[in-house]
């Protein structure tokens, strides 16, 4: 439990002290971490905050439109950078290298946008587990270990770096953010690129995006999981019509968790799993097989990479 009133006052003071009279850019992804940071920074420095949404091409279906709608009351810059991100990921198969490529691209896009606006400070929604995992060598989060060592920003401000996810949600409640944001499932910074095993191509991202949309549509409301999503495992054989095909294998993952350090699979009735499998293979012709992941964390992680 966090004392939200105390935390909010302290965070606002910290942002004001760090930013001074400088303009500050930040990535607003629409998740709870970045939304809390934006709300704190808006209170702290008002118009000196420049929120930017980067459409990396690695986001979920309809995400860019959703962000525009949710944040219609603030002036949000939407930067289209799909080609840039996919270009940076070309030929990369190693998960850590993918995270670093995405992290580096984020910073370069931000530096470019910040230059246009005359901003020297970067505000990030880094939370405590991101730091522990990056330092512990578990995985580089795009906003911690995945960041390039050389940056043009003079200051990086991380007002929620001491909080766990459930504490961030408490602060979101105290800041009166919409329920949809407060309870939004975590989504990794490198986006769908880490939900495709191996190289993240435009085609694979499109398949996993569509499958992910179906999984969320079927599971979010009904089971209220910590996270549920689809991942693309690779190619396998299948039969469609009279033809033996080589099609994608999609894994469905749904877990309950308190803080993502441990997790257990959601107990989904078999009939519902069959329905999800049929829907994915019917709607996405290139998918030949759908599997449900029954592994807890540990030994598995929540994501596949
Ligand atoms: P794992 O897969 O390690 O994930 O069990 C734990 C939590 O972290 C999220 N995750 C990430 N978040 N950048 C992020 O911002 C990343 O690179 C990243 N990788 C995993 C994951 O979705 C889960 O909530």
- Is 148 within the bounds of a domain? yes
Rounded distance between C-alpha atoms, residue 224 and residue 184, angstroms: 10
Residue 81 lies in a domain: yes
User: Does residue 188 line the site of ligand 1, with CB under 6 A?
Assistant: yes
Q: What is the mean pLDDT of residues 161-190?
A: 94
Dist. CA 1 → ligand 1 center (Å): 22
Domain count, the chain: 2
Task: Determine the distance separating the centroid of ligand 1 and the alpha carbon of 22, expressed in angstroms.
Answer: 31
Domain contains 261: yes
Q: Are both 72 and 170 inside the same structural domain?
A: yes
Q: Within this chain, do residues 175 and 233 fall inside the same structural domain, yes or no?
A: no
**Looking at the structure, do residues 24 and 95 belong to the same domain, yes or no?**
yes
141 lines ligand 1 (CB under 6 A): yes
| Full domain range(s) for residue 239 | 201-292
One domain, residues 58 and 175 = yes
Residue 300 lies in a domain: no
Phi/psi of residue 265, each to 5°? -65, 145
Does 131 lie in the same domain as 11? yes
Task: Give, using CA atoms, the residue closest to atom 3 of ligand 1.
Answer: 301
Mean pLDDT, rounded, of the chain: 93
Per-residue pLDDT tens digits for 253-266: 999 998 888 999 99
Q: 287 and 242: one domain?
A: yes
Domain of 235, CATH number, reads: 3.30.300.10
Whether residues 164 and 18 fall in one domain: yes
Residue 120 included in any domain: yes
The structure's pTM equals 0.89
301 lines ligand 1 (CB under 6 A): yes
Same domain, 175 and 227: no
Based on the domain organization, do 148 and 246 belong to the same domain? Answer: no
Whether residue 140 is annotated as binding a ligand: the answer is no
Enumerate residues 6+ apart whose C-beta is below 8 A from 28.
34, 35, 38, 51, 52, 53, 67, 71, 76
In a domain, 273, yes or no: yes
Q: Which CATH number fits the domain that encloses residue 111? A: 3.40.50.620
Tell me if 299 is assigned to some domain.
no
Q: Are residues 159 and 110 in the same domain?
A: yes
Are residues 50 and 106 located together in one domain of the fold? yes
Q: Does residue 131 carry a pLDDT above 90?
A: no
Same domain, 208 and 150: no
Number of residues assigned to the chain:
305
Task: Encode pLDDT of 88-114 as tens digits.
Answer: 999 999 999 999 999 999 999 999 999
Instruction: Indicate whether 191 belongs to any domain.
Output: no
> Is the ipTM value over 0.90, yes or no?
yes
The residue from 147, 182, 217 where one domain ends is 182
- For residue 145, pLDDT beyond 60: no
Report percent pLDDT > 90 for the chain.
85
Q: Which atom of ligand 1 is nearest to the CA of 186?
A: 24
Tokens of 39: 């709300």
Where does a domain end: 149, 182, 215? 182
């Amino acid at each position: 439990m966090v004392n939200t009133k105390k935390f909010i006052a302290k965070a606002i003071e910290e942002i004001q002290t760090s930013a001074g009279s400088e303009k500050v850019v930040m990535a607003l992804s629409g998740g709870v971490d970045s939304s809390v940071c934006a709300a704190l920074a808006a209170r702290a420095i008002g118009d000196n905050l420049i929120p930017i949404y980067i459409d990396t091409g690695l986001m979920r279906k309809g995400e860019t439109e959703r962000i525009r709608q949710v944040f219609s009351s603030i002036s949000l810059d939407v930067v289209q950078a799909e080609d840039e991100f996919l270009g940076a990921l070309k030929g990369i198969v190693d998960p850590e290298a993918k995270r670093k490529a995405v992290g580096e691209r984020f910073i370069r896009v931000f530096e470019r946008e910040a230059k246009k606006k005359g901003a020297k400070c970067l505000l990030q929604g880094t939370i405590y587990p991101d730091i522990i995992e990056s330092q512990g060598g578990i995985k580089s989060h795009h906003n911690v270990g995945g960041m390039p060592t050389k940056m043009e920003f003079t200051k990086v401000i991380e007002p929620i770096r001491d909080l766990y996810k459930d504490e961030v949600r408490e602060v979101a409640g105290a800041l009166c953010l919409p329920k949809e944001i407060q309870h939004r499932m975590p989504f990794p910074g490198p986006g769908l690129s880490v939900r495709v095993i191996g190289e993240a191509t435009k085609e694979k991202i499109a398949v996993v995006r569509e499958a992910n949309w179906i999984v969320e549509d079927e599971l979010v409301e009904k089971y209220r999981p910590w996270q549920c999503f689809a991942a693309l495992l690779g190619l396998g054989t299948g039969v469609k019509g009279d033809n033996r095909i080589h099609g994608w294998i999609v894994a469905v993952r749904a877990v309950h968790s308190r803080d993502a350090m441990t997790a257990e699979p959601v107990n989904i009735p078999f009939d519902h799993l069959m329905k999800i499998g049929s829907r994915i293979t019917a709607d996405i012709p290139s998918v030949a097989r759908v599997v449900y992941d029954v592994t807890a964390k540990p030994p598995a992680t929540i994501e596949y990479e």
